[in-house]
A and B are shown apart, each in its own frame.
Chain A
Amino acid sequence: MQTYFIELSYLLASILFILGLKGLSHPESAKRGMHLAEFGMLMAIIGTLMHHEIVTYTWILAGLAVGSVVGLAMGLWVPMTAMPQRTALSHAFGAFAAALVGISEFYRFGGHLENKVMMGALGFEVMLGALTTTGSLLAFAKLQGLVRGTPMTYKGQNIFNMGLLAVTIGIFVYLVFVPGSMPLFFTMVGLAFVFGLLLVMPIGSADMPVVMSLLNSYAGLASAATGFVLSNKVLIIAGTLDGFSGFILSILMCRAMNRSMTNVLFGAFGSAATATSGGEQEGSMREVGLDDIATQLAYANKVVFVPGYGLATAQAQHAVRELADVLEKRGVTVKYGIHPVAGRMPGHMNVLLAEANVPYSALYELEQINPEFPTTDVAVVIGANDVVNPDARDNPTSPIAGMPILEVDRSKSVVVLKRGQGKGFSGLENPLFFKPVTGMLYGDAKDTLTRLVQAVQHA
């Protein structure tokens, strides 16, 4: 009877999780959907607490308490600009939990699992969990700036990584068919932890959206594997949903950069790649005055803001909304063009602007906003570089050739807000900055935007 109740709670949780994710198809249904998923999770946990194999509740309750406190703190106090870092950390936690469950299951069976399928699932769970843990932690360090954001490469790196992976998988296959070797198992786990670090090491900051999605996927797949090991269907379902979600996102991110997954993971973009790009740009960048721009904006019909990661680092999302408000009061149509890989994770810019109270109806995707640029009076690029680089469209030899871009250069006028004359995260020269239609406005974005607000009000 007890088991029946637990199984029913898992079934209910599965249904509610699916409904919860279905709700994410629209901002209005999303909130309700999440509450359903939360209720499902609660039911599953309560149901599990009645499991007959549980002898003592001390450690369980202690763990739940500590986890809740940490989770609550992270959830409430992390600023939206740090969302990518928090997400990377949560991937690490999830993958680590999956790996630990696998290790303890292995230990429980004395390291001797006759059932090949179960050993296979367990090995898969532990390997994937381990590498995702360290990979996500390194991603967190890179995003937080604790470690260099530029790709770290060395000669023969890909061969070494592949070799390491081959050895790890080799041990795994051996353990499936010749069960019982504990030292070998722990070697495999150790190697997987190392591999995770090596995998993420050569990835540059600009490629983070793909890596984040992939790690999200792996963490989910590790949970799905746990489901196979524990014969737990709700785990399989939740893990598969998470796994596929991350996988779909990473494919979308790759398409948005027009690069294949292998190229992103193993191509070390941003280091050797730039050597083959176009030479120095001819012409010069035209610096413009703040008041000129304010006048242009004040008397425009349509203005499109194009945010990039620079908006996040400058914490300028509120300032840009203030400027948008002031312009809208004057009757200017204001829109935002969001490139899929702008920022450090999928949807980063959307969340940042939503936090600043920008209504989501003002946020436009690439395919929607590109046709509007020819009729746009002023396109304001804030801290974005590659996503507006015309070389992707015009120069077939460019490393970013073929990447879909926001075609701001088709606007009547372009203003680029930039901290300085540097080359951005990928190290590529951007011909947009040298075009006659473009004016450069140097300085801290938040500061510049705030002063623009004042200037427009007096225009």
Chain B
Amino acid sequence: MSHETLISALYVFALAAFLGYQVISRVPPLLHTPLMSATNAISGISLVGSIVTAGAQYNTISTILGFIAVVCSTTNVVGGFVITDRMLKMFKRKELVKKE
């Protein structure tokens, strides 16, 4: 990793940290559980790293490890978003509840 890449990566990290703090602190306790499953699903983006490892055929071990990592990350992405959607559907306003 060259120095320029490292510095720009650090910029991204620092900005993400500040932005993350601002965005997350506005999530009410009501939605803390979906927040945990959503952030977990989003961090499943590590899938993009394991996809390359599983398909680049560097060597047998890397391919196997990559495959397992793809399975784990995909489980998180799919499962995480499905569960978050499911939870969010359950939060209803009072008027809507009375209509049922």
Contacts and interface: CB of A to CB of B under 8 A. Distances in A.
Interface of A: 10, 13, 17-18, 20-22, 24-28, 30-31, 34, 37-38, 41, 44-45, 47-49, 51, 53-57, 59-60, 62-64, 66-68, 70-72, 74-76, 78, 80, 83, 86-87, 90-91, 93-94, 96-98, 100-101, 103-105, 107-108, 115, 117-118, 212-213, 216, 219-220, 223-224, 226-228, 230-246, 248-249, 252, 338, 340, 345-348, 350-351, 354-355, 357, 359-363, 365
Contacts of B12: 233, 236-237
A347 B43 CA distance: 20
B98 to A, nearest CB: 8
A78 B87 CA distance: 11
B45 A359 contact: no
8 contacts: A34-B38, A34-B81, A49-B51, A83-B33, A93-B72, A230-B49, A245-B39, A347-B35
Interface residues of B, number: 85
Interface string B72-91: 11111111111111111111
Contacts of B31: 24, 27, 30, 347, 350
Interface string B57-69: 1110111011111
A248 B48 contact: no
Contact of B45 (A96, A234, A246, A360): A234
A75 B86 contact: yes
A255 to B, nearest CB: 12
Interface of B: 1, 5-6, 8-9, 12-13, 16-17, 19-21, 23-59, 61-63, 65-94, 96-97, 100
A34 B40 CA distance: 13
Contacts of A91: 40
Contact of B35 (A47, A51, A245, A355): A245
Most chain B Cβ neighbours within 10 Å, of A27, A234, A252: A27
